[in-house]
């Protein structure tokens, strides 16, 4: 692929070469930020397994407290040793609280 063919391909995504100052030189090039819009539209972000579990758990945690096994069941995920650390991370982030051994979403202002 030549520089010209690359420029033609990127033009379809509204990414254009520009003069970039490097010390005393000014070659043509691309800036990262010129790609960010195209990346966000055409390159889907994938979640890690742990992030996916965290999101599923977060969606089912409500105001009514549930145990970790019940939350896993509600989220449709297998209960494993991974669930507790994820819930603890959500707790550290202030998103959930542990009430008498059951997990619930944080509501209101804590005193």
Confidence check: pLDDT of 38 > 60: yes
Interior/surface letters 86-109, b for 16+ CB within 10 angstroms, e for the rest: bbeebeeeeebbeeeeebbeeeee
| Domain regions of the chain by residue span | 3-42, 49-105
pLDDT of the residue at 111: 40
Confidence check: pLDDT of 44 > 80: no
Mean pLDDT of 11-18: 90
Q: Strands, DSSP E only, in 9-108?
A: 18-19, 28-29, 96-99, 102-105
**Mean model confidence pLDDT for the chain:** 85
pLDDT category, 36, cuts 50, 70, 90? confident
Confidence check: pLDDT of 8 > 90: yes
CATH class of 49-105: mainly alpha
pTM, to two decimals:
0.52
User: In the chain, what percentage of residues exceed pLDDT 70?
Assistant: 95
pLDDT of the residue at 5: 92
Helix extents (H) in 1-111: 3-11, 32-42, 49-60, 68-75, 83-92
pLDDT of the residue at 108: 53
Mean pLDDT of 16-32: 88
C-alpha span between 67 and 101 (Å, rounded): 7
């Amino acid at each position: 692929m030549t520089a010209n063919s690359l420029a033609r391909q990127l033009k379809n995504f509204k990414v254009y070469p520009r003069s970039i100052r490097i010390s005393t030189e000014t070659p043509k090039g691309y800036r990262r930020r010129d790609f960010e819009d195209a990346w966000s539209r055409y390159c889907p972000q994938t979640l890690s397994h742990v992030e996916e579990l965290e999101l599923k758990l977060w969606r089912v945690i409500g105001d009514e407290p549930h145990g970790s096994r019940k939350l896993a069941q509600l989220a449709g995920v297998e209960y494993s040793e991974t669930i507790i650390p994820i819930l603890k991370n959500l707790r550290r982030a202030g998103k959930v609280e542990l009430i008498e051994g059951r997990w619930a979403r944080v509501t209101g202002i804590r005193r």
